[in-house]
Amino acid sequence: MKKLLVAVLSLIVFLLPLSAQKKKKSGKEPLFGKALATYPISSYELSGACFYLVSGHGGPDPGAIGTYQGHKLHEDEYAYDIVLRLGRELLMRGAKVHFIIQDKKDGIRNGTILENSKRETCMGKEIPLDQVTRLKQRSQKIDHLYKKDKGSYKRAIFIHIDSRSRGKQTDVYFYHAPGSKQGKRLADRMRNTLASKYKKHQPGRGFNGTVSERGLYVLRNTQPAGVYLELGNIRNSRDQQRLVLENNRQALAKWIAEAIVVDYKGK
């Protein structure tokens, strides 16, 4: 009788919705670095959502390079820092997050100049120098994880930084795969969220970020709906402020996460 009662109680707990069960109040991700490895779980508003976060380039390829106060700014380092910050914001909201590109040493970094390295891997695997091979590697990794993950809301986020003439200032802009309704919807919500944030925090500035479809390899060759972000022109002095100031990197990550919440709730 006692065993039967225990079994019944265990079944009841199992069947209870997540809100009625004991929830974790914190989690740990070593990739964030020692100081930030432990993160609080402030809500479960993204419970059931799964994300594949990819920072551009890495390993032998630093990506676009700009110059700031005599220092080199490397695309892969700043994209990676923002990806980590974004991932932490998503984890704090109860999501499941895969970091496709990883550097076990860097962690989330403060400061202006993020020194370049070639340590980045594709989840432990060496990143090839050849572009097509490199893109194929990360795309296959995403699809491998995608097949194993449960849930109906799975999204891939690719973060890059553009390189144009120094005088060309750009706002954050977004690409989605041709014909991807889910990718376009998420990109639109990211764009609208950033426009709203700039209107609030920098009234009169305006926001000219765009959303468009583009047949980029990683968008065409991965299963989850995806959005590819270009965060600005790494050679432009005004756009560089978006990257070199740690508060700005954090704000970008938080705003993108907030847009994702809007999209998830409206799925």
For the chain, the helix, strand and coil percentages under 3-state DSSP, each to the nearest 5:
40, 20, 35
Q: Could you give the C-alpha distances from 12 to 5, 24, 28, 44, in angstroms and in order?
A: 11, 19, 29, 21
Return the ∠ at Cα 115 (arms to 87 and 232), rounded to 5°: 60
* Per-residue pLDDT tens over the stretch 178-235: 999 999 999 999 999 999 999 999 998 999 999 999 999 999 999 999 999 999 999 9
Q: What pLDDT sits at residue 20? A: 40
Find the CATH number of the domain harbouring 109. Answer: 3.40.630.40
Residue 12 lies in a domain: no
Segments forming the whole domain that contains residue 89 = 27-265
Residue 208 lies in a domain: yes
Helix ranges restricted to H, the chain: 2-15, 75-91, 131-148, 181-201, 217-220, 237-244, 246-265
Q: What pLDDT sits at residue 267? A: 72
What 3-state class would DSSP assign to 223? coil
Residue 165 lies in a domain: yes
User: Cα(42)–Cα(184) distance, rounded to whole angstroms?
Assistant: 28
Write down the mean pLDDT value for the chain.
93
What 3-state class would DSSP assign to 173? strand
Q: What pLDDT sits at residue 7? A: 47
Residue 77 lies in a domain: yes
Sign of CA dihedral 58, 249, 184, 99: positive
Residue 6 lies in a domain: no
- The domain tally of the chain equals 1
Work out the pLDDT band at 3, boundaries 50, 70, 90.
Answer: low
User: Cα(53)–Cα(42) distance, rounded to whole angstroms?
Assistant: 21
Work out the pLDDT band at 23, boundaries 50, 70, 90.
Answer: confident
Residue 19 lies in a domain: no
User: Cα(96)–Cα(155) distance, rounded to whole angstroms?
Assistant: 11
Q: What pLDDT sits at residue 161? A: 98
Work out the pLDDT band at 124, boundaries 50, 70, 90.
Answer: very high
Residue 238 lies in a domain: yes
Residue 17 lies in a domain: no
Residue 132's φ and ψ, nearest 5 degrees, are: -65, -45
Q: Is residue 99's pLDDT more than 60? A: yes
Q: What pLDDT sits at residue 8? A: 42
Tell me the residue type at 112. Answer: T
Tell me which residue has tokens 């970020």: 209
Q: What pLDDT sits at residue 48? A: 97
Average pLDDT over residues 39-61: 98
* Per-residue pLDDT tens over the stretch 139-173: 999 999 999 999 999 999 999 999 999 999 999 99
